[in-house]
Amino acid sequence: MTGPRYTPLVQTLPASVPFVGPEAQERARGRPFRARLGANESVFGPSPKAIEAMQKAARDTWMYGDPENHDLRHALAAHERVGPENIVVGEGIDGLLGYLVRLLTGPGDAVVTSAGAYPTFNYHVAGFGGVLHKVTYRDDHEDPLALLEKARDVGAKLVYFANPDNPMGSWHPRATVERMVADVPDGCVLVLDEAYAQFLAPEDMPVIDADDPRVIRMRTFSKAYGMAGARVGYGIGAPGLIAAFNKVRNHFGMSRISQAGALAALDDPQYLAQVVDTVRTSIAGIGRIAAEHGLAALPSAANFVAIDCGRDGDFARAVLAGLIERDVFVRMPFVAPQDRCIRVSAGTKADLDVFAQALPDALEAARTRL
Amino acid sequence: MTGPRYTPLVQTLPASVPFVGPEAQERARGRPFRARLGANESVFGPSPKAIEAMQKAARDTWMYGDPENHDLRHALAAHERVGPENIVVGEGIDGLLGYLVRLLTGPGDAVVTSAGAYPTFNYHVAGFGGVLHKVTYRDDHEDPLALLEKARDVGAKLVYFANPDNPMGSWHPRATVERMVADVPDGCVLVLDEAYAQFLAPEDMPVIDADDPRVIRMRTFSKAYGMAGARVGYGIGAPGLIAAFNKVRNHFGMSRISQAGALAALDDPQYLAQVVDTVRTSIAGIGRIAAEHGLAALPSAANFVAIDCGRDGDFARAVLAGLIERDVFVRMPFVAPQDRCIRVSAGTKADLDVFAQALPDALEAARTRL
């Protein structure tokens, strides 16, 4: 009996799962984390209005969500001062990146990103047979000039750039990003991942024509809005590119409860502003804890901060392992020299106390081992 | 300035949206439906335990859902008496069908289904470049022998079969389905869509070895469980095929609230049994309303019923239009001769009253026009 005949492309894809969640780590450890600071979630949670809207919508979940995401799309358009034809809503930025890559990238097509940037983008590119070209970070920042130069050299159909960047928390001045958009090579699309945009200072927010066909901005309710589990992302782009998503997306893929929650969250800018403030305070607190133990926190415009452990990747990995042993869920960059850092998400006072308690012991254990 | 360079395949895909939801119809009409009986949703809603679990989880939605769907997968495995390695959870059957088609079907690959069967499956096949071969229904049933014969003739990698069938509500005896599985051609996978399985009489439920690599069963929380808006489906299949989903799926695609709701719904079999009973009563009631106006309801093992309007497709389309004008959301089969029917989902007593009031007027209007 012959088994399923997978496509040639699928046969080349690794069967290993690159995405290990904190729950899997908890199951392996046999006990829960005391502080969940590894996935850049917002421990401060969604707006109470969003929680209420989701609780109310739970009774209505017998109905499919509106496949057009009409109300949310129109509300987002008003919020972003663009037209509804400039907005596509999808199952988180992860889902939207998958659709975008599928629209543009077939076997052998060139795509550019930074070594050590968002791995889920790379997963999608590989999944559709694209060929990834990676440029290196420069001084812990993604390098716009190098990205564009590489895109030009290889004739890329897609170039990925996150601002603010994950995992480093670094960002570029508004003018640099606007210049980058202006310089995208012909026939290439810049995917500008702005998952952490709400944490930028207003003067750092790039101004981009939503009808510019060279760029699509990606936003999410997973970070500042505190709704990672709801899976709501959106793209802002030119109407032609936005409409193309309708050719491939899972039209009934959005949770009705999530649609309702996002709509309510958008209607509570006061709460959002308060979270952004609280996150800044928390990031500063993490920086102070790091400094108390001789470590430097990098500047961050996100809801997490990279802490330079002062030595190499092996040392930082040992510190990370020590934190996880001590029930603190954190993650770290994959690629040198950024992997000299660990990445810690903003947390509550209680979370930071757990971190502050675990860090010196984790450092001591790492120093003893290496 | 060149725009985005879409893949050659994407350039061939239609930009029109094949999925018009009831909300879009309501917006076009400028008023809401009085009875929502068109999408085979369960107006009886989710289990109160599921609602409670989702309301509770709303506060936790700042966390991503477990990308492994561990707890739900294990609960489903126990429920289905299979191993967790036999279960994949995804964003509704729609999402899982997309992944399955992507795993197996590349440009030019042959896929078999029935003319008039589930259009979302066809959407995915077209979306990955597969070539659809369609066989006709026989006496308002999908035709297992014809499907397998066609699959053999064209060397299909995938053959779609729904039992019970949507849109007709018809079903096959257990032995027929089991025989079909045994006769799947080498190198072909049978996707057995069992979205409505909970409405089958227990003696009609096929027994299939979960480790059989020739078949994958698709189940959902959207129908009997009353959670269409939550987007939770699952597949039951051989470990190799199930593991292959990890190569392409959106690992963080599941809503955390939906995971919690599905887990709680699974834990309330009494409520499920009660819904199945209520649905049968409602289906019988729809049949009586049809009979009162000289129309015959077809036998159904689902939560909807096809009503034979007694003439051709144009007439049934006129009846459908008349019902929609009278604020009753219903749908109908796309293909002759099944398009002599309209398809009405089970509803509450109040829904059925609205339908009973609208039907004679819609019939009268259709008779006057045609």
State the average pLDDT over residues B2-12: 94
Q: What pLDDT sits at residue B19?
A: 77
Range B71-75 average pLDDT: 98
For chain B, percent of residues with pLDDT exceeding 90: 97
Q: Does B322 lie at the interface with A, CB-CB under 8 angstroms?
A: no
**What's the rounded Cα separation, in Å, for the pair A201 and A215?**
21
Classify burial at B176, counting beta carbons within 10 Å of its beta carbon; exposed 0-12, middle 13-18, buried 19 or more.
middle
Q: What is the pLDDT of residues B331-370, one digit of tens each?
A: 999 999 999 999 999 999 999 999 999 999 999 999 999 8
Query: A235 to chain B, minimum CA–CA distance in Å?
Result: 15
Who among A6, A10, A24 is closest to B68 (CB)? A24
Mean pLDDT, chain B, rounded, equals 97
Is residue B328 within a helix (H) or strand (E), and if so which, with residue range?
A: strand B328-329
Average pLDDT of span B240-264: 97
**Cβ distance A257 to A112 under 8 Å?**
no
Is residue B231 a contact partner of residue A230, using CB atoms and an 8 Å limit? no
Interface list for B 332-351 with A (CB within 8 A): none
pLDDT at A342: 98
A339: tokens are 């992997």
pLDDT at residue A143 tops 70: yes
Residue B281 touches chain A, beta carbons under 8 Å:
no
**Which pLDDT tens digit goes with each residue over A334-359?**
999 999 999 999 999 999 999 999 99
Six-digit token pair at B140?
């308002």
Task: Please work out, in degrees rounded to the nearest 5, the angle formed at the alpha carbon of residue B143 by the alpha carbons of B137 and B148.
Answer: 130
Restricting to A residues 6-25, those with a Cβ less than 8 Å away from any Cβ of B are 6-10, 13-15, 17, 19-21, 23-24
Asked if B23 lies within 8 A of A222 by C-beta distance, the reply is no
Asked whether B245 and B90 are in contact (CB, 8 A), the reply is: yes
Q: How far apart are CA B341 and CA B293, in angstroms?
A: 14
* CA angle at B301 for the pair B338 and B350, rounded to the nearest 5°: 90
- Amino acid making up residue B90: G
A219 touches chain B (CB under 8 A): no
Mutate to test the interface with B, among A74, A85, A123, A252 (most CBs of B within 10 A): A252
Q: Is the pLDDT of residue B153 over 90?
A: yes
- Judge whether A258 is closer than 8 Å to chain B, CB to CB: yes
**Per-residue model confidence (pLDDT) at position A1:** 63
The residue-averaged pLDDT of A108-122 equals 97
Tell me the pLDDT of chain A averaged across its residues: 97
- Map B258-309 to HEC letters: HHHHHHHHHCCHHHHHHHHHHHHHHHHHHHHHHHHCCCEECCCCCCEEEEEC
Q: What ipTM did this prediction achieve?
A: 0.97
Per-residue confidence (pLDDT) for residue B325, from 0 to 100: 96
pLDDT bracket for residue B2 (50, 70, 90) = confident
**A50 Cβ contact partners less than 8 Å away, ≥ 6 residues apart:** A225, A226, A227, A261, A262, A264, A265, A268
Residue B17 has pLDDT above 90, yes or no: no
How deeply is B202 buried, as exposed, middle or buried, from its count of CB atoms within 10 A (0-12, 13-18, 19+)? exposed
Give the DSSP H or E segment for B45.
none
Percent of chain B with pLDDT over 70: 99
Check whether B187 has a pLDDT greater than 80. yes
Say which residue, B16 or A156, is predicted with more confidence: A156
CA angle centred on B39, ends B38 and B45, rounded to 5°: 110
Question: What are the pLDDT digits (tens) for A22-64?
Answer: 999 999 999 999 999 999 999 999 999 999 999 999 999 999 9
pLDDT band at B241 (very low <50, low <70, confident <90, very high): very high
The chain A residue lying nearest B190, using CA atoms, is A4
Q: What is the pTM of this model?
A: 0.98
Q: pLDDT tens digits for B95-139?
A: 999 999 999 999 999 999 999 999 999 999 999 999 999 999 999
pLDDT of residue A17: 74
d(CA A271, CA A49): 9
Q: Which residue of A has its CA nearest to B182?
A: A1
Are the beta carbons of A215 and A192 closer than 8 angstroms? yes
Question: Is the CB of residue B229 less than 8 Å away from at least one CB of chain A?
Answer: yes
Neighbour tally for B292: CB within 10 Å:
11
**Tokens encoding B233:** 């489906």
Q: What is the DSSP letter of A210?
A: T
Strands of B215-220's sheet in order across:
B87-90, B233-236, B215-220, B189-193, B158-162, B110-114, B131-135
Q: Which helix (H) or strand (E) holds A289?
A: helix A269-292
Give the integer Cα–Cα distance in Å for B91 and B253: 7
What is the pLDDT, as a whole number, of residue A2? 74
What is the rounded average pLDDT of the residues A209-227? 98
Q: Which 3 state secondary structure label does DSSP give B200?
A: coil
* CB atoms B91 and A91 under 8 Å: yes
Q: How far apart are CA A292 and CA A187, in angstroms?
A: 50
Q: Among B21, B58, B63, whose Cβ lies nearest the Cβ of A54? A: B58
Shortest distance, CA A309 to any CA of chain B (angstroms): 27
SS3 content of chain A, % helix, strand, coil (to 5): 45, 15, 40
Cβ–Cβ < 8 Å for A166, A118: yes
At A370 the pLDDT is 87
Q: Select the residue of A42, A64, A251 nearest B41 (Cβ to Cβ).
A: A64
Per the CB < 8 A criterion, the answer to whether B155 and B149 are in contact is no
* Residue A310 C-alpha, separation from nearest chain B C-alpha, in angstroms: 30
Task: Tell me the pLDDT band of B1, cut-offs 50, 70 and 90.
Answer: low
What pLDDT band is residue B16 in, cutting at 50, 70 and 90? confident
